[in-house]
Amino acid sequence: MSQPTPIPEPQDPMSWDWTRAIFDHVHLRVADLERSRAFYATVLEPLGIPLHLDTGTVVQFANLALSADAAPSTGVHLAFVATDRGQVDAFHAAGVAAGFADHGAPGERDYGPPGVGYYAAYLLDPDANNVEAVLRELPG
| Helix residue spans in the chain (DSSP H) | 33-44, 85-97
pLDDT for residue 1 is more than 70: no
Q: How confident is the model at residue 63 (pLDDT cuts 50, 70, 90)?
A: very high
In sequence order, what E strands does 6-124 have? 26-29, 51-54, 58-61, 64-67, 77-81, 101-108, 117-124
Task: Enumerate domains of the chain plus CATH numbers.
Answer: 25-137 (3.10.180.10)
Give me the mean pLDDT over the 99-115 stretch: 92
Q: How confident is the model at residue 12 (pLDDT cuts 50, 70, 90)?
A: confident
pTM above 0.85, yes or no: yes
133 compared with 139, residue with greater pLDDT: 133
Percent share of the chain, pLDDT over 90? 74
